[in-house]
Structure 1
Amino acid sequence: MTTPVPASDRPALRFATGTTVKDFAAYTEWLRVAEDCGYAMLTTGDSQSLWADPYVALTFAAQHTTVPRLGVTVSNPMTRHPAVAASASSALQHISGDRFVLGISSGDSALRNIGLRPARVAETEEYVTAVRDLTAGRAARWQGADLELRWPPRRTPVWVAAEGPRTLRMAGRVADGVVLSNSLTREAYARNLGHIAEGAAEAGRDVADLEVWCMANVVPAATEQDGIDQVRSVLAGTANHVFRFGTEGKGLPDALRPAVEELKRRYDSAHHASPETAAHNAALVDELGLTGFLAAHSTVAGPLGHCVERLHEIAEAGVRNLVVAQFVPEPLAFMRTFADRIAPHFR
């Protein structure tokens, strides 16, 4: 058993965790355990073809929890009009006691699975601004139309999931927070935070006023490689998402660019975020020589002591908030182990 390091000696971390909902009876127990384990926020995604609607799921979560924040990580501008998203978000704020946050990105599996294109950066910026305005009780504009909620809305923080320089700067200009993927190295986090800061400065804002959360696969296992092997399909999905619009400004070595382009060409979005059915996607990262690079930027794996040290390295690089993914065989046992054996080192 590892011994917690005093909080005064090393930086603290705040942890969220999430799941995708397919069985509400199982979700009831998941929520109970997650709240008991003390996670700061509980999340789910928005991909209608793959799992349950996030607003329904988080309304259910609001009724079965009392303390943690509840977040969609993330939705998109293409499947929900901003007035619809703002109204649903306001309703969730009323029900949850203002615990809800809405994350937005350009859109990935939700769109690929129904044949829609992703939103452009300018569209996403306009959408985020409209949702923020509407939930704050202000009039908004969307694609030339004037919008207004004529019932009492409730202010909702709107975050942006961003990877490339343009989207990161946009998030700095208009979002309340940012969700980062592939940012668990010192270099990647500093680069991405710098772009966010540039955007914040353009709007007369301070980057310190934005919440920045990093996605992380945490996989306790006998060895680091054993843990990485369990999430190879997730590594493929992250790479497909992060690099889908291009590789410039994202820290990808030139030697790996052809491999990433091949991965994007062959990735199967029908099995996105589903390790149990995604053998094809899992095989791609090994075949294309991408496993090591992708794991270093997104994954903490191995024996518990090694996971703790790796998380300390991430905290010392400046990261303060982690959304811990649950691509593990037994999520309830994982949450309890994480809460008992890992989280105490970072308080």
Structure 2
Amino acid sequence: MSPATTTQYPELAGYGLAGHTESPRDVVAEARLAEEIGLGSLFLSERFNVKDAGVMAGAVAGVTDRLGIATAATNHVTRHPLVTATMATTAHRMSEGRYALGLGRGFDVLFDLMGLPRITGAQMEDAIGIYRRLWRGESVVGHEGPAGSYPYLNQDSSFDERIPVLMMAIGDRSLELAGRVADGVVLHTFLTDEALARMVRVVRGSAERAGRDPASVRIWSVLATVEDSIGEQARLRKLVGRLATYLQGYGQVLVRANGWDEEVFRRFREDPFVTGYGGAFDAVGTTEDLQQLADRLLPEEWLAASATGSAQQCASRIQDQLDAGADSVVLHGATPTELRPVVEAWARQRSADLDALPANPGWMA
């Protein structure tokens, strides 16, 4: 376990097993180190290979004492609601209240291939309502709703579990839904500061219209962080490769969110090098491939929506995110080892007011 005297910075988080991995056990060492260097939380991004959300959350809970844990994200359609509720309750109790369940819309094409229904906002809202009823010890009887038909669901009538729900959001409708029903919101990587500030306004405005305290919704920005000590090949993969992969998958949404030039995006999308590429750039791109993208197709302005340079410069970009309205910042795409100098630099400039944030990444108080 990490030393009990280590200072934690609840406003900061990293990702466990950032990107692709073949060794899920690495999350154990990453979680211990994340707690040791002072990260407040570890976000666990699920993939349908060796990154199961429940298994990773249990591993992290078992080897840490104070680190917040977030599933970021799973999709409600990939598990029966009783199974998801059970996963969350187990992680909640195993971590002694440090766990937050994160949900996202996912990718329509993937769900089509898997034979699952495409996710809608109405489904997500309905599913969250089912989870919360189960966590309160209620029985769900004769449910007919967007999330499905369920004759009878029950966990335990003695339950009164306080488990926050995070939503991953980028489009306005998702942001509005998150402000209305979620306890916290996780935004997207590679957002300009202006886009971030606008999204914060959308979330808080929706919360207020729903009769909620806008300040009660915890908003996480997600900041691609590549400090100077990271080698050139890794830097290209974490910045150029990652942004290009997002543009491959759902670039139109990200480009519109940032107000970027759609003609530049069209040239990227239709370039023969991109259309003929055999996989995701952040997974299989060579140094030469990624450098070609940077030189020809990705504007520096787009790549600048990140934290790069010295550890102090990266720490200053964390403050930019908070100044734009975020409550907390996920330092994306870097391991705890790579983040250590950034966290140390941040510790020298952060406001003590941030100590009031709870360890659980889904709560504001």
Q: What TM-score do the two structures reach when normalised by structure 2?
A: 0.77
Q: CA deviation at 1:148?
A: 2.9
Corresponding residue number in structure 1 for 2:361: none
Corresponding residue number in structure 2 for 1:103: 102
Corresponding residue number in structure 1 for 2:13: 16
Q: Distance in 1 between matches of 2:322 and 2:189?
A: 15
- 1:128-143 maps to which residues of 2 (within 5 A)? 128-140=128-140, 141=143, 142-143=147-148
Is it true that 1:340 corresponds to 2:340 in the alignment?
A: no
Closer/same/farther in 2, CA of residues 270 and 227 from structure 1, 3 Å limit:
closer
Structure 1 contact 197–207 (Cα < 8 Å) conserved: yes
- 1:199-278 maps to which residues of 2 (within 5 A)? 199-221=206-228, 229-231=236-238, 232-240=240-248, 243=251, 248=256, 251-259=259-267, 261-262=269-270, 266=275, 271=280, 275=282, 277-278=284-285
Q: Deviations over 1:243-286 (max 9, x none)?
A: 466865553334334246548x84979648xx453449846853
- Runs of 5+ unmatched residues, structure 2: 1-8, 352-365
- 1:171-210 maps to which residues of 2 (within 5 A)? 171-182=178-189, 184-210=191-217
- 1:28-39 maps to which residues of 2 (within 5 A)? 28-39=28-39
Corresponding residue number in structure 2 for 1:122: 122
Q: Distance in 2 between matches of 1:173 and 1:59?
A: 29
Corresponding residue number in structure 2 for 1:295: 303
Q: CA deviation at 1:147?
A: 5.0
Q: CA deviation at 1:63?
A: 0.8
Q: Deviations over 1:290-332 (max 9, x none)?
A: 34243233x10112232233333333222231111234xxx35
RMSD, matched Cα: 3.4
- Runs of 5+ unmatched residues, structure 1: 1-11
Q: Distance in 1 between matches of 2:276 and 2:208?
A: 37
Corresponding residue number in structure 1 for 2:86: 87
Structure 1 contact 180–213 (Cα < 8 Å) conserved: yes
Q: Distance in 1 between matches of 2:124 and 2:293?
A: 30
Q: Structure 2 counterpart of 1:185, which letter?
A: T
Is it true that 1:320 corresponds to 2:327 in the alignment?
A: yes
Q: Distance in 1 between matches of 2:277 and 2:84?
A: 28
Secondary structure in structure 2 of the residue aligned to 1:346: coil
Structure 2 contact 185–220 (Cα < 8 Å) conserved: yes
Secondary structure in structure 2 of the residue aligned to 1:311: helix
Closer/same/farther in 2, CA of residues 119 and 35 from structure 1, 3 Å limit:
same
Q: What TM-score do the two structures reach when normalised by structure 1?
A: 0.80
Is it true that 1:69 corresponds to 2:68 in the alignment?
A: yes
Q: Deviations over 1:3-35 (max 9, x none)?
A: xxxxxxxxx981011122643543322222111
Q: Distance in 2 between matches of 1:92 and 1:220?
A: 32
Percent identity of equivalent pairs:
22
Structure 2 contact 14–336 (Cα < 8 Å) conserved: no
Q: Structure 2 counterpart of 1:143, which letter?
A: G
Structure 1 contact 224–303 (Cα < 8 Å) conserved: no
Corresponding residue to 1:155 among 159, 162, 179: 162
- 1:303-314 maps to which residues of 2 (within 5 A)? 303-314=310-321
Count of residues in Structure 1 that have an aligned counterpart in Structure 2: 328
Closer/same/farther in 2, CA of residues 146 and 197 from structure 1, 3 Å limit:
farther
Closer/same/farther in 2, CA of residues 276 and 247 from structure 1, 3 Å limit:
closer
Closer/same/farther in 2, CA of residues 197 and 66 from structure 1, 3 Å limit:
same
Q: Distance in 1 between matches of 2:51 and 2:166?
A: 21
Closer/same/farther in 2, CA of residues 13 and 88 from structure 1, 3 Å limit:
closer
Closer/same/farther in 2, CA of residues 267 and 107 from structure 1, 3 Å limit:
farther
The more displaced of 87-96 and 115-124 is 115-124
